């Protein structure tokens, strides 16, 4: 099975020249775990390379890209941990290549991911070591569905972003990483984060506050409270910047009125992710990323660490490691993705994978961009409605 060929769908984007050549260069890459690339992806690759070899000049292609209306482009958003649910993926199995993806995933992971996604039990699927690979594969399988139903959307994609582990899926889609190698890196990341979470009791709290809410002060007060209880070096920090007036914190439910928090909710995760409590996971992920091939994305992909575009392979390698112990700058990422001159149209946006959380966040960040939002679902019920 060759490298994940979403890269071959790139006909335009930030990388401009060399997009089709980039698709060709990955053609012979090998995947950990064996198998053959899905036929639909091979056909797309042949088609893309064929277009390049047919004599269409780069200048003409560049002119067409320049003339393209922003509305004709698309942005894909890939969800992260917490969006998983038992039954996800059932509605995707009819699409070309999806079963092959799950068969390859079983070889890479060493367990039957598809059965776990379809049948549970939920407690096992929700474990960090399982849910991160599950969301990664389900999201890329959702891309297969999108490509089958609306191939022009995939062809016209100009940017991608992924939330936490979703960033790996975005990079695979953009041709920067091989599917199986990226899945192996996700496996190592998830297992290391599970170990780190179990080493120190911790958790995450979703908080929505008014404009007067001071989150950093609230965290400081929470740490002081822990120190008064005799806890050494307590951790309470902002770990996810989602949208205006929303943050993920610890400790603060009982004192919500004091800090002008209007709503708090404990998140169903096993640890305080994207904080220094995840430092034990840094070295294992760094080592595995050194061992796999990473290339410059063929479209714009935005980093969780700073909300900016990835520039080159070393940049990706460095920031994927840093992301584990850094807050997710999702609000800033959304501003970067949708920043444009006044009056310019917003691109169509598709959330690919389980859940609609990123769409809800987009609505809070940018209502005009959200009006062009759609969700590519992974459920059986949606498939039944379409037939």
Sheet containing 328-329: which strands, arranged edge to edge? 261-266, 205-209, 246-249, 240-243, 328-329
Is residue 164 part of the annotated active site? The answer reads yes
Cα–Cα distance for residue pair 113/225, rounded to 1 Å = 42
Side-chain half-sphere of 125: how many Cα atoms within 13 Å?
23
> Which one from 156, 274, 303, 375 is the annotated catalytic residue?
274
Phi-psi region of 294 (alpha: psi -120 to 50; beta: other; left: phi over 0): beta
Helix (H, G, I), strand (E, B) or coil at 167: helix
> Which one from 48, 83, 164, 239 is the annotated catalytic residue?
164
Cα–Cα distance for residue pair 361/235, rounded to 1 Å = 26
Strand boundaries in 166-322, DSSP class E: 205-209, 240-243, 246-249, 261-266, 300-302
Q: What is the DSSP letter of 212?
A: T
Task: Check the CA dihedral 306-310-315-321 and report its sign.
Answer: positive
Cα–Cα distance for residue pair 269/205, rounded to 1 Å = 10
Cα–Cα distance for residue pair 270/292, rounded to 1 Å = 28
Q: How far is CA 63 from CA 36, 67, 158, 338, in A?
A: 36, 6, 16, 23
Tokens of 84: 């998983």
What is the four-CA torsion angle of 315, 321, 323, 326, rounded to 10 degrees?
-110
Is residue 270 part of the annotated active site? The answer reads no
Tokens of 265: 């909710």
Cα–Cα distance for residue pair 159/372, rounded to 1 Å = 15
Residues making up the chain, counted from first to last = 387
Residues with active-site annotation = 164, 274
């Amino acid at each position: 099975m060759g490298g994940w060929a979403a890269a071959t769908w790139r006909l335009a984007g930030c990388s401009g020249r060399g997009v089709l050549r980039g698709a060709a260069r990955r053609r012979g890459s090998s995947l950990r775990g064996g198998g053959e690339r899905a036929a639909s992806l091979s056909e797309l690759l042949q088609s893309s390379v064929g277009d390049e070899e047919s004599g269409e000049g780069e200048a003409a292609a560049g002119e067409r890209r320049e003339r393209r209306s922003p509305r004709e482009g698309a942005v894909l958003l890939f969800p992260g941990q917490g969006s998983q649910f038992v039954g996800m993926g059932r509605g995707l199995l009819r699409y070309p290549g999806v079963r092959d993806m799950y068969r390859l995933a079983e070889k890479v992971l060493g367990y039957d991911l598809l059965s776990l996604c379809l049948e549970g039990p939920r407690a096992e699927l929700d474990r960090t070591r399982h849910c991160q690979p599950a969301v990664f594969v389900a999201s890329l399988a959702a891309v297969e569905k999108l490509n089958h139903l609306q191939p022009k959307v995939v062809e016209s994609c100009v940017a991608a972003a992924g939330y936490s582990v979703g960033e790996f899926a975005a990079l695979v889609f953009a041709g920067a990483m091989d599917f199986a190698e990226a899945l192996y890196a996700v496996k190592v990341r998830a297992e290391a984060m599970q170990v780190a979470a179990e080493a120190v009791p911790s958790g995450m709290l979703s908080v929505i506050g008014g404009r007067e809410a001071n989150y950093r002060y609230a965290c400081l007060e929470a740490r002081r409270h822990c120190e008064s209880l005799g806890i050494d070096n307590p951790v309470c920090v902002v770990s996810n910047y989602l949208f205006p007036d929303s943050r993920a914190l610890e400790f603060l439910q009982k004192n919500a009125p004091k800090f002008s928090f209007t709503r708090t909710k404990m998140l169903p995760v096993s640890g305080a992710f994207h904080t220094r409590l995840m430092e034990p996971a840094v070295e294992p992920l760094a080592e595995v990323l050194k061992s796999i091939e990473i290339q410059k994305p063929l479209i714009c992909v935005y980093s969780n660490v700073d909300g900016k575009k990835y520039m080159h392979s070393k940049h990706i390698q460095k920031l994927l490691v840093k992301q584990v112990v850094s807050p997710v700058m999702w609000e800033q990422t959304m501003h970067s993705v949708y920043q444009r001159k006044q009056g310019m149209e917003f691109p169509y946006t598709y959330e690919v994978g389980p859940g609609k959380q990123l769409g809800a966040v987009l609505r809070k960040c940018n209502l005009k961009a959200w009006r062009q939002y759609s969700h590519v679902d992974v459920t059986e019920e949606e498939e039944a409605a379409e037939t």
